[in-house]
Structure 1
């Protein structure tokens, strides 16, 4: 059973997918958001290609645990995904995942230009991996 992880941003959506066992997350791509909603078509394609049975969307919470405007947008996005794809869509606390991805890339001495290209994909991987790890502990 594969799970798709998404890091929903203002202009881009990072995507990652689990292995067939649900143990590890691998970054897939960065999907450009479009006015015509084309990103939903691409996500549907990924669901079909990788035989995804669930989706995890990062939920950016405030540091005190409350949900702000950005979180509300992600909740709405997850709801639209659930309706259009008819598969379970989970929200997962993503606090500091982008910061963690940036830090990892900085420590690896990745150039600013390359960081911009992969940080969303890496954040999606971290969101998905944290979700997978929490499932394995149950």
Structure 2
């Protein structure tokens, strides 16, 4: 990671919604942001642009949902495509990050905080994005 990278936006890619989190590499802090709705994996690109304009990230991180045996899933291929689209549309560097078990961890954390298990009504995708970002930050340096 370059010393110039200070602000990072992370995405937990999904077909119906995309979790988002922001982090700061100097402080090591992360925060979940509101999810982005998606239709068959395609977000509202103007909403993505608004996030980038607001947070001014130096880098984007996209969770890569690999299978437990390290093979690529169809969703991993779609997440990689989403990452290429982010780079192409926004001109920012994008890194992929292994996100195995991040959704499971997000659900466990949410349950500990009183979540009732209705993940459609109260999604945890942005919490998963925050976990992806925390993991990525811990692997830097």
Partner of residue 106 from structure 1, selected from 106, 111, 114: 111
Deviation, structure 1 residue 115: 7.5
Deviation, structure 1 residue 116: 4.5
The equivalent residue for 2:17 is 12
Deviation, structure 1 residue 28: 0.7
The equivalent residue for 1:89 is 94
Q: Which runs of 5+ in 1 are unaligned?
A: none
Partner of residue 53 from structure 1, selected from 15, 40, 58: 58
The equivalent residue for 1:117 is 122
The equivalent residue for 1:72 is 77
Give the helix-richer structure, 1 or 2: 1
Superposed structure 1 runs of 4+ greater than 6 Å apart: none
- Partners of 1:54 and 1:22 lie apart in 2 by 16
Query: How large is the RMSD of aligned CA atoms in angstroms?
Result: 1.8
- Partners of 2:43 and 2:123 lie apart in 1 by 20
- Partners of 2:34 and 2:82 lie apart in 1 by 18
- Partners of 2:24 and 2:65 lie apart in 1 by 25
Deviation, structure 1 residue 5: 0.5
- Partners of 1:62 and 1:114 lie apart in 2 by 22
- The two structures have a TM-score, normalised by structure 2, of 0.87
What secondary structure is seen at the aligned counterpart in 1 of 2:48? helix
Q: Provide the aligned length of Structure 1 versus Structure 2.
A: 135
